[in-house]
Structure 1
Amino acid sequence: MSPHQPTRRPVAGVPGVPWNRQRLRSNNEWLLLELLRTGGGSSRAQLARDTGLSKPTVSAALAELEQAGLVREAGRVAPERGRTAVLYEVDPRAGHVLGVDIGRARLRVAVADLAGTVVARRDVANRGRTAEAVADAVVAAAHEAIAEAGLASADIVHAVIGTPGVWDEERRGVRYATSLPDWGRPGLFDRIAEGLGTAVTVANDANLAALGEYTLGAGRGSRMFAYLLVGTGLGVGVVKDGELLLGAHGALGEIGLVPLPAVPPAAEPLAAGQDVPDATTLEQEAAADAVVRAARDFGLTGTGGRRLTAKQVFARARAGDEAALRAVRWEADRLAYAVAVLSAVLDPDLLVLGGGIGNSADLLLEPLEQALRRFAPRCPTLAPSLLGEEAVLLGAVSTALEAARPAVFERRTAGL
């Protein structure tokens, strides 16, 4: 399932939409609510000037919104001349959303109000041995965060779950989630939705990270922006003019699935009837496990008998370990191939490096840029993520808010 698109409220006068006084009043209230959300606190007089509505119309609409619990007084301002003006703002307590980031190593959950302020969160190790255990752990972490916020499950208007893979609506499951065992099993996300007791949208983690970075991080203001998520998996999210690009089947950006054939050197052509060697994928060659394998090949071992991790490889590289530095350069070469492909196909003006490995941009960007000069004639500007490991989670919260705001408005104004 692609990230939920915000509901478009009907406007009086649009063909096919019958005009009536209730519809017009509802549109006026929505217009004022959105103006207060995007512009901050404002007085009745200022809202009238900004919208072109009459002051009595604005006053009546604000009274209805206040009665519905959607706006509240934010203070008063005394002008140089005239009466003191009351300032109004959106009441962020009118509804809450849930953002979830499911990764192979960590499960992250955040509860946010309608202003996007995170009021409670959980960040726990993913210890699930089965797909069902992971699903149940997500529900448990979510309920803990909801309780910490002083809320009940019914207070959550919408939840967005970020996960590796591509949502398949017909199967009710994700495809291509290779980093999580059996994660493509149909019914898992229905199990999570039932446990949460609220509407749930499932979205690709790289896509959500791109939305989070575009809204709050390094991607702000970019016309054509790509987010390269490098961690236990490899994926890309692309935002063009503020809109997420999904492709015909929701799989745009699944660059980790691109095969890299193990073709023999030209001096050793395949014999007649000889099979072409099996191909590895770009994800297998450039994600976390590949970094660890390369480091081991260069002679790096874990400390204290513990298993070597990609995080340790980059930490050792920062300390000047030559084997670790070689592994970092090796990783940069593989990522350069991915970026070169993206540059040729999408021509983004900015590419942000994120994810668990991408967060080591301080080590990767320079060798990556050097390698790109060999691969690509034209390259985008490269930048590190500003949101770090929060990108997917904040993108999930942002996407959930797009769905929740109109839903809360409909629900709270239905009886007025």
Structure 2
Amino acid sequence: MLLERLRTTGAASRAQLARDTGLSKPTVSAALATLEQAGLAREAGLLAPGRGRVAVLYEPDPTAGYVLGVDIGRGRLRVAVADLAGEITARRDVPNLGRSAGAVADAVIAECRAAIGEAGIGPGAVVHAAIGTPGVWDETEQRVRYAAQLPGWGRRGLFDRIRAGLDTTISVHNDANLAALGEYARGAGAGSRHFVYLLLGTGIGMGVVSGGKLQRGAHGAAGEIGFLPLPGAGRAGAGAARGGDRRGGEQQGGDHDQRPGMLESAASAESVVRSAREFGLRGATTAKQVFDAARAGDPAALAAVQRQAEQLAYAVAVVSSVIDPDLVVLGGGMGQSSDLLLDRVEEALHALTPLRPRLAPSLLGDEAVLIGALSTALRTARPEVFDRRSAAVARA
């Protein structure tokens, strides 16, 4: 209780802790002595009031343990090491050059080890690693499903390989879910009662945070909005998608192409480029180039952006009717072009539904998944560190 009080409200004296908690001063003094002995708390300075004796201030010792946050994307790998106060002590941000799932797993291990080395911490100091990835983590089968952007990523054993390479406990999470938690903790979602985060990039994902808690669904697939059928897709397109999923995907490791007739085929970075080409834009190979051309006034690029906004408005309309969020945050790579998208999405949304949540751009940008991963890792690591070190003091 005392450690959590120090963590949430800052350094305090014995007397202040006694007043805040209702514990006696001798009890507080004994508990603080145990926390110091365990390396969980430390002196933070002195408080010299106008009258009375100088008081010693205490704070949690952030060096009692460290965590890893990992963001695995098709284009980039992002890794950060943070202490128990959540302060980042080292980070890596590199292109994902892995040509196979095994190569990507090995690259994750290498970048994590490099970040640990840069943080200057010893072996065993990392208590937990939280890993964000496209797709849905299947806890029973210990593999990722539905990760279309990373071929072979559904193969069993990949995360056992990462766990062994890092020599610590790991947890695996959907990247959009982690981004939603990050945005709730430190971004545009702060203070929202019920908000939705749309991760717009090589695919499209969604995280839902209600009352500060992530909504995962019965099988962890809540927010897999890329599977949302588009109007007019028809039974043939949906049937082909289901068949491709089961025969070409689930039984062969969970990989699949973007489904025709589903939202991800029409509301992703690739779809923006494809639309721009259909409208006559030449030379653009990335969504960023299309958005840059739109800012410069290119008619084909502007038409592609408008189409993208209409597809996103459809997604927001569906989500609003089911979830009724007070806020929808646009994030991911394409979310950084909210200057072009937000007004167009809002206008298209008004034509589709009377339900109109507030729309906002992500405040964390590319950092959202990583910040969410660190926040998640800390929730696991802090009680683990407390239990380990308290037990060691008791044994001594």
* Pair in the same fold by TM > 0.5: yes
- CA-CA distance at 1:263 after TM superposition: 4.8
The equivalent of 1:155 in structure 2 is 125
Structure 1 position 349 matched with structure 2 position 326: yes
Structure 1 position 308 matched with structure 2 position 285: yes
Structure 1 position 138 matched with structure 2 position 108: yes
- CA-CA distance at 1:238 after TM superposition: 0.5
- CA-CA distance at 1:229 after TM superposition: 0.6
Distance between the aligned counterparts of 1:180 and 1:376, measured in 2?
35
The equivalent of 1:290 in structure 2 is 271
| Contact 2:177–2:208, Cα closer than 8 Å, also in 1 | yes
Count of equivalent residues: 374
Which sits farther off after the overlay, 53-62 or 254-263? 254-263
Distance between the aligned counterparts of 1:260 and 1:316, measured in 2?
27
Q: After superposition, what is the alpha-carbon deviation per residue over 1:256-308, rounded to whole angstroms, capped at 9, x for unaligned?
A: 012226558xxxxx9xxx99995521011101110110011111122xxxx61
Distance between the aligned counterparts of 1:276 and 1:207, measured in 2?
26
* Structure 1 residues 358 and 275: CA distance shift in structure 2, 3 A: closer
Distance between the aligned counterparts of 1:301 and 1:391, measured in 2?
32
Query: Where in structure 2 are the equivalents of 1:12-411 lying within 5 Å?
Result: 31-260=1-230, 262-263=232-233, 279-302=260-283, 308-411=285-388
| Contact 1:153–1:198, Cα closer than 8 Å, also in 2 | no
Segments of structure 1 that go 5 or more residues without pairing to the other structure are 1-30, 265-269
Q: After superposition, what is the alpha-carbon deviation per residue over 1:288-346, rounded to whole angstroms, capped at 9, x for unaligned?
A: 110110011111122xxxx6101111122222222211111110000011101110000
Distance between the aligned counterparts of 1:411 and 1:276, measured in 2?
51
For the pair shown, the structure with the greater C-alpha radius of gyration is 1
- % of aligned pairs identical? 67
Q: Which has the higher helix share?
A: 2
- CA-CA distance at 1:413 after TM superposition: 1.0
| Contact 2:237–2:261, Cα closer than 8 Å, also in 1 | no
Q: After superposition, what is the alpha-carbon deviation per residue over 1:177-236, rounded to whole angstroms, capped at 9, x for unaligned?
A: 111111111111111111111000000000000000000101011100110111011111
Distance between the aligned counterparts of 2:121 and 2:291, measured in 1?
40
- CA-CA distance at 1:81 after TM superposition: 1.4
| Contact 2:75–2:96, Cα closer than 8 Å, also in 1 | yes
Superposition RMSD in Å: 1.6
Q: After the TM superposition, list the runs of 4 or more consecutive aligned residues in structure 1 that deviate by more than 3 angstroms.
A: 261-264, 274-279
Distance between the aligned counterparts of 1:34 and 1:63, measured in 2?
16
Give the aligned residue type for 1:161. Answer: I
Distance between the aligned counterparts of 2:185 and 2:238, measured in 1?
45
| Contact 2:326–2:358, Cα closer than 8 Å, also in 1 | yes
Structure 1 position 415 matched with structure 2 position 392: yes
